[in-house]
Structure 1
Amino acid sequence: MTRFRLALALLGLIPLASPQAQDLPPDRVLRVAPHADLRTLDPVFASIVITRMHGLMIYETLFAWDSKLQPHPQMVDSFSTAPDGLSWTFTLRPGLLFHDGQPVTSRDVVASLKRWMARDTVGGKLAEYAAGLEVVDARSFVLRLNRPMGLVPFALGSAVGQIPVIMRESDAATDPMRPVTTTIGSGPFRFNREEWRSGARVVYDRNPDYRPRAEPADGLAGGRVVKLDRVEWTIMPDPATAAAALQAGEIDIWEQPSQDLLPVVARARGVAVDRYASLPNQAMLRPNHLFPPFNDPRARLAMALATDQGDFLAAGFGDEQWWKRCGSYFVCGSPNGTEAGAEPYAAPDLDRARRLLAESGYKGERVVLNSSYDIAPIGRMAEVAAESLRRIGMNVDLQFADWGTVTTRQANRGPVSEGGWNLFVTTASGATMQSPVTNIGTNMGCDRAWSGWPCDGEAERLRGAVVDAPDEAARQAATAALHRRLAEVQPYRVLGQYDQPYARRANVSGVLNAPVMVFWNIEKK
């Protein structure tokens, strides 16, 4: 162990290497500094990115999106659709095994999909069309629909929000409102629970029983060929520590480098800076629609008019080469990137914001804004949000905690007096936000919506029209109509979009273009 790594270990910033890791050749262990600590293990319960990354390590889905977000069979071997489009029959690949050695069966699939449909934006939309899920035999099952839906493979391969991973039937039987705490999947890695240290380290071991598909890897699709024996996530909340560790070769990948340190990292010998996602990410300010003031749409419009995207993006992501203003809920530059209806909110209008806030009935009540500096851009943007809203007369209580606490609190539906919240800043991948079907923030289905629980029947009707559109022209028209409604009711404030690069040692190759970073196909030389 180098002096640098030993010093960090003694300071408690990274753990000492385990005996298992010490026994492996250096080129068989990948050491990663992820953007956040792993607290929630269930990717069907939580939509946060670190949990999704974890889920894709140990679980699989029936279909998977390629680098262009097109679905391909993953766990599915073959499928067919009835002529009337009202039933889909699927057969699983042979030889699928859970990490405990038990075969993956259709019973596991049916139980997993039902739980996912109760949790996720995409799953909830599919549930509106579903008339039933039936087991045919150990490897085959049928999805019956009440009306045709052409997006079934796309939905079953979703890599955003709460993802439709296949769990054991006993785990999938868990109440959808409670997280699963076991970690038995069928994916290319196994979760090493014995070496998991919250706030310090997460470890995954190669699954020797996993059989990858024969197709070349493309995004999340194709063969998930593991070329390493072990992946270690070392939690490094301090960006300077992560930057120094990367330059010293103590970690191989820094998943989300701090933008202000990028110039230093990019110039370092033996380090490369790249992008792994084709679409930019989106930043957002999310209000709680259950309680005043943001249960009134006028307060949400006031929030939009009080905020300048440039202030947030500059604070969060530094140099303008990494970000751009964009009023589209569905990401500028994506196939659905309309800004229809968002034009009035492109620049702040503080006088109008104050009038709307007064009309909403707001009288100076405390507004709790939760955030964290564990993800530095989010913490900096939260400070901008607090200052922007104070300018129009909001009594903002900005509270900082670790990111795990912030995301746990997001699920609290109670008032602030009972540990609830009014606002938080977060980010989401372009792959998540680019479609009305997958955008978790524009689901306004009340109790079925993501944290913040917006409720608007007209927006949901228009979102359904996008799914039902018979052709691409009709789908684009429906998307524009939906976007105009969203601009009127502001389920969240779009803060613009940005590119998030990653940094790696020059001897690391094979990082895939995908909605989140994945660790198959990667090798060290």
Structure 2
Amino acid sequence: MPGMAAGRARQAAKPCDFRRPSAGDSAGAPPAQSGKVTALSEINEQTRKTNRETSMKTLRSNTHWLAAGLMAGTTALSPAFAQEDEVTITAVMHSGLRVLDPVITTAHITRNHGYMIYDVLTAVDADFTPQPQMADWEISEDGLVYTFTLRDGLMFHDGAPVTGADVVASLTRWGDRDSGGQLIFDVTESLEAPDDSTIVWTLSEPFPPLMDVISKQSAVPPFIMPARVAETPPSETITEYVGSGPFVFNEGEYEPGVSVTYEKFDDYVPRDGEVSWMAGPKEVKVDRVVWTTMPDNLTAINALVAGEIDYIEQLSIDLLPILESSPDVAVEMRDPLGYVTIGRPNHLHPPFDNKLIRQAAMDALSQENMLATMQGNPEYYNVCGAIFGCATPLGDETGSEPVTGGADIEAAQAKLEEAGYDGTPIVLMAPTDVVSLMNQPVVAAQALREAGFEVDMQSMDWQSVVQRRAQQNTIEDGGWNMFFTNWMVPEVSDPLINVMVNGRGDDAWFGWPDDPEIEEMRAAFVKATTPEEQKAIAVDIQAHVMDNVNYIMMGEYLIPQARRTTIENMIPSPVPVFWNMEKTSE
């Protein structure tokens, strides 16, 4: 079956081939370039210098904050958790949490929150193979009927059992929002629960990758909620946060964007099997997990060294030397497949409703400049034009020369002139609080200005970007033209999972391209019967995205995490999860 073939192909995915500098090549620095690109390189170096200077100022300004925390111990961060017999893990995630509905957004912090309190029917393991989680399944010989059977012991946090009706409502809401889910529901005849433990999904035609799509770990996993919650219209945000997952959301201690607390769900029954990525038993071995927000990465690093916190999800490469001398801290790559960073234009409003102007923006940008500013050290980034990832079976770099070959300011200027660009300002949203997102808008703004764009770079925190990017308002009414974001490579590895190649207009991902041609190619991908056919279609999609500029691929990178050595048995997975891990005494 094509879905199985696709699964086998994906097993061949390997870690990104990131460049490693040799002793004699100036630490892998790119060769000097001339003209305006050189000017950008100088700006990039100045940006890194400014970041370092700002970090040192922050270190001095936060001395009193850290000292106060050290005097109070870990209770400085969580005064309500002072019971000596409780085991609490305190983590600094990449962003504060404000959006609590994991179906309404693709924000990673909200997805991470979803995995804490909800569960899923099935989940992929490290080989990208779907495994049972809440349910086992059978597929009819003709590929039209999928029957799921819920395992025993499933219970929501309010004490109610999980039933088939809850699953049907949850999948239906998810299918309206998720890119792959939309394709499945295009061919769905019925989705029903004949009894409390059975779900029957009947299709009008085979959809071989169905199990791959519902088992994915992102961007919008099909989390199971009580039916009364899942019946919330997909265009509205849920207001009740009851799941059946391994942790309970403590709504009373939730401070939006500042702190969120999760408590062990004592009635959770882990499934059997082996732990692998999101599959296998979810055994919680601590009492509480607290996600707290800190002013910046340097403050978090010093708090980690001091023992005030236990874990940092993302580290600034420039600040890694601070941790080198700390024997109590482990720095590591949780996910060797890495991330991609991308720029997303808004296809609804001028000037990016014009294809030629989108192409001009892509011509103006350079992956090398962008990645060098983001990461600094070439060991941690890879120039890559493949929208499905350079190390994946579907990866191909057709048409990516405008971004992988360096900025072409003259070409960008010529396209702007041809398009009759009238100086309409570009509203570029610029998050200031996420290590892996704060540099891209700065580099892009300078490059776009050199090409002749007027740029209005508006600074805000990431959660404000998350909320604002979901609005289709005109620029005059608070809308936007472009933002940058990052994805794990597994999230973009095929046309069904990669939400940025969805061309369904208002039903597409933020930016809303109305692109019937790419939708035809995605539908053909579903029906492909061999990996070779799938690859050929993926290459066509790659070429189309590069020409139409549905989004701008800006390369791949790795980002390390850090933990106290007292934190053990953390699952190596693209998604940071807190089950299975243990916290030992100092």
TM-score range, shorter chain: over 0.9
The structural deviation recorded for 1:267 is: 3.2
Query: What does residue 43 of structure 1 align with?
Result: 102
Q: Secondary structure at the match of 2:303?
A: helix
Match of 1:265 among 323, 330, 343: 323
Q: Distance in 2 between matches of 1:175 and 1:481?
A: 35
**1:460-471 matches, cutoff 5 A:** 460-471=519-530
Pair 1:216-2:245 in alignment: no
Match of 1:371 among 430, 451, 469: 430
Pick closer, same or farther for the CA change 1:393–1:94 going to 2, 3 Å. same
The letter for the 2-side match of 1:63 is T
Query: What does residue 193 of structure 2 align with?
Result: 135
**1:248-259 matches, cutoff 5 A:** 248-259=306-317
Pair 1:93-2:154 in alignment: no
Match of 2:350 among 283, 292, 314: 292
The structural deviation recorded for 1:344 is: 4.5
The letter for the 1-side match of 2:423 is G
- TM-score by length of structure 2 reads 0.86
The structural deviation recorded for 1:25 is: 3.7
- Consecutive unaligned residues of structure 2, counting only runs of 5 or more, are 1-62
The structural deviation recorded for 1:361 is: 3.1
The structural deviation recorded for 1:456 is: 1.0
- Consecutive unaligned residues of structure 1, counting only runs of 5 or more, are none
Pair 1:415-2:500 in alignment: no
The structural deviation recorded for 1:223 is: 0.3
**Which runs of at least 4 in structure 1 moved beyond 6 Å after TM superposition?**
none
Query: What does residue 68 of structure 2 align with?
Result: 7
Query: What does residue 82 of structure 2 align with?
Result: 22
Q: Secondary structure at the match of 2:344?
A: strand
Asked if the contact 2:262/2:289 (under 8 Å) is kept, the reply is yes
The structural deviation recorded for 1:182 is: 1.3
Q: Secondary structure at the match of 1:355?
A: helix
Pair 1:389-2:448 in alignment: yes
Q: Distance in 1 between matches of 2:418 and 2:156?
A: 57
Q: Distance in 1 between matches of 2:435 and 2:65?
A: 24
Q: Distance in 2 between matches of 1:499 and 1:267?
A: 22
Asked if the contact 2:179/2:499 (under 8 Å) is kept, the reply is yes
The Cα offsets for residues 76-104 of structure 1, whole Å up to 9 and x where unpaired, read as 0x211112111111111111100000011
The structural deviation recorded for 1:462 is: 1.0
Q: Secondary structure at the match of 1:131?
A: strand
Q: Distance in 1 between matches of 2:488 and 2:85?
A: 34
The structural deviation recorded for 1:8 is: 4.9
Q: Distance in 1 between matches of 2:526 and 2:451?
A: 39
**1:52-67 matches, cutoff 5 A:** 52-67=111-126
Asked if the contact 2:314/2:435 (under 8 Å) is kept, the reply is no
Asked if the contact 1:368/1:399 (under 8 Å) is kept, the reply is yes
Q: Distance in 1 between matches of 2:257 and 2:521?
A: 43
Asked if the contact 1:33/1:255 (under 8 Å) is kept, the reply is yes
The Cα offsets for residues 231-255 of structure 1, whole Å up to 9 and x where unpaired, read as 0111113111101001011111101
Pick closer, same or farther for the CA change 1:473–1:251 going to 2, 3 Å. same
Q: Distance in 2 between matches of 1:511 and 1:484?
A: 39
Pick closer, same or farther for the CA change 1:457–1:249 going to 2, 3 Å. same
Match of 1:179 among 232, 237, 260: 237
The structural deviation recorded for 1:219 is: 0.3
Q: Secondary structure at the match of 2:437?
A: helix
The Cα offsets for residues 253-309 of structure 1, whole Å up to 9 and x where unpaired, read as 101112211222233221111111131100011100001111111111111110001
The structural deviation recorded for 1:3 is: 8.6
The structural deviation recorded for 1:513 is: 2.2
Asked if the contact 1:245/1:251 (under 8 Å) is kept, the reply is yes
Q: Distance in 2 between matches of 1:482 and 1:403?
A: 30
Match of 1:435 among 484, 491, 494: 494
Q: Distance in 2 between matches of 1:368 and 1:73?
A: 45
**1:115-514 matches, cutoff 5 A:** 115-347=173-405, 348-514=407-573
Q: Distance in 2 between matches of 1:130 and 1:357?
A: 44
Asked if the contact 1:38/1:51 (under 8 Å) is kept, the reply is yes
Q: Secondary structure at the match of 2:182?
A: helix
The structural deviation recorded for 1:15 is: 5.7
Asked if the contact 1:247/1:269 (under 8 Å) is kept, the reply is no
Asked if the contact 2:192/2:200 (under 8 Å) is kept, the reply is yes
The structural deviation recorded for 1:523 is: 0.7
Asked if the contact 2:69/2:308 (under 8 Å) is kept, the reply is no
Q: Which moved more, 1:47-56 or 1:423-432?
A: 423-432
Q: Distance in 1 between matches of 2:84 and 2:575?
A: 27
Q: Distance in 1 between matches of 2:251 and 2:403?
A: 47
Q: Which moved more, 1:79-88 or 1:105-114?
A: 79-88
Q: Secondary structure at the match of 1:147?
A: coil
The letter for the 1-side match of 2:500 is G
Q: Distance in 2 between matches of 1:315 and 1:25?
A: 45
The letter for the 2-side match of 1:7 is A
Q: Distance in 2 between matches of 1:58 and 1:148?
A: 32
Pair 1:32-2:91 in alignment: yes
The structural deviation recorded for 1:375 is: 0.6
RMSD: 1.9
Pick closer, same or farther for the CA change 1:464–1:267 going to 2, 3 Å. farther
The structural deviation recorded for 1:170 is: 0.5
The structural deviation recorded for 1:9 is: 9.6
Q: Distance in 2 between matches of 1:15 and 1:144?
A: 54
Q: How many residues align?
A: 520
Q: Secondary structure at the match of 1:283?
A: strand
Query: What does residue 73 of structure 1 align with?
Result: 132
The Cα offsets for residues 136-193 of structure 1, whole Å up to 9 and x where unpaired, read as 1111011111111111111111211222101100101111011112110000000011
Identity level (%): 38
Q: Distance in 1 between matches of 2:529 and 2:522?
A: 14
The structural deviation recorded for 1:229 is: 0.8
Asked if the contact 2:94/2:435 (under 8 Å) is kept, the reply is no
